[in-house]
């Protein structure tokens, strides 16, 4: 699975709709897992998901990159 960043949110695997951030809310579950709060609900992610084809070792770095537009 790959995320493409967009202003105020992201797309997953080139879907036709955007997930929009809800006040940059997230919940870190472990070193490699998190919940991201969006307009479409809470989504579970882990570090196996790439962001613009880039991999990350920790969920903190992953979250930082996701919010960096």
Query: What's the burial of 24, exposed, middle or buried (CB within 10 Å: 0-12/13-18/19+)?
Result: exposed
> Domain of 27?
2-67
- What element of type H or E holds 66? helix 59-67
Q: Is the pLDDT of residue 65 over 80?
A: yes
pLDDT of residue 57: 97
Region 38-53: mean pLDDT is: 97
Region 2-7: mean pLDDT is: 95
The total domain count for the chain is 1
Residue at token pair 């996701």: 66
pLDDT, one tens digit per residue, over 29-42 is 999 999 999 999 99
């Amino acid at each position: 699975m790959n995320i493409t960043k967009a202003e105020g949110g992201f797309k997953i695997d080139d879907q036709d709709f955007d997930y929009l951030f809800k006040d940059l809310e997230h919940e870190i579950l472990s070193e490699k897992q998190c919940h991201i709060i969006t307009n479409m609900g809470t989504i579970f992610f882990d570090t196996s998901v790439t962001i613009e084809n880039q991999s990350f070792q920790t969920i903190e770095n992953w979250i930082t990159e996701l919010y960096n537009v």
